[in-house]
C-alpha cells in the first residue's frame, strides 16, 4: 500500500488513514471495485492497532467510499462515491470558512487562495503518482 502516516502528528491516525485512502481513490490509484487489504493485514503492514484501521474503515464505509463484506473483504465502492449533495456542500463551506477567514486576516488574496486550490486539484487530475 501507499499509506504514509505521521505518528507524531496531532491528527489521529484513523483520520490520516481515511485521508490517505480517499486520496488514493481521488488519484485513481484505487478504482471502484478494487479490493483493499483486510483490517488485520493493513494494521500489521503499517504497524498500527487493529481498532485504528477498523475505525477508519467503518467511517469510510459510512461515507460511501468502501463496502465491507464479511467474506469478500473490503472493496472500493463499485458504484463510485456518492455524489456531492446539498448537505455535503454545506459541510464543505462550513469547514472551509475558518481557513478563508484566516487567509483574509493574513492578507492572502482570493486569487492566491484559488491558485492554491487549483494546484492541489491538479495533483489529483494527473494519472499515476
The binding site for DNA (CB under 7 A) comprises 10, 12-15, 38-41, 48-52, 54-55, 58, 68-71, 73-74
Nearest to 24 by CA among 12, 37, 11: 37
Shorter beta-carbon distance to DNA: residue 4 or 125: 4
Q: Which of residues 67-96 bind its own copies (CB under 8 A)?
A: 67, 69-70, 72, 80-84, 88-89, 92-93, 95-96
Q: Which is nearer to DNA, 49 or 115 (CB)?
A: 49
Please enumerate in sequence order all residues whose Cβ is within 8 A of that of 53, keeping only pairs 6 or more positions apart, or say none: 14, 17, 39, 42, 43, 46
Binding site for its own copies (CB under 8 A): 7-8, 10, 12, 19, 22-23, 25-26, 65, 67, 69-70, 72, 80-84, 88-89, 92-93, 95-108, 110, 112-114, 116-121, 123-125
Amino acid at each position: 500500500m501507499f499509506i504514509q502516516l505521521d505518528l507524531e502528528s496531532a491528527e489521529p491516525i484513523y483520520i490520516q488513514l481515511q485521508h490517505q485512502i480517499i486520496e488514493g481513490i481521488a488519484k485513481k490509484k484505487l478504482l471502484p471495485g478494487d479490493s483493499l487489504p483486510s483490517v488485520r493485514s493493513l494494521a500489521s503492514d503499517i504497524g498500527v492497532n487493529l481498532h485504528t484501521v477498523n475505525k477508519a474503515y467503518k467511517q469510510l464505509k459510512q461515507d460511501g467510499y468502501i463496502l465491507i463484506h464479511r467474506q469478500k473483504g473490503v472493496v472500493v465502492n463499485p458504484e463510485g462515491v456518492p455524489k456531492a449533495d446539498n448537505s455535503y456542500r454545506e459541510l464543505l463551506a462550513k469547514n472551509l470558512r475558518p481557513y478563508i477567514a484566516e487567509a483574509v486576516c493574513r492578507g492572502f488574496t482570493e486569487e492566491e487562495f484559488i491558485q492554491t486550490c487549483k494546484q492541489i486539484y491538479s495533483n489529483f487530475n494527473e494519472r499515476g503518482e
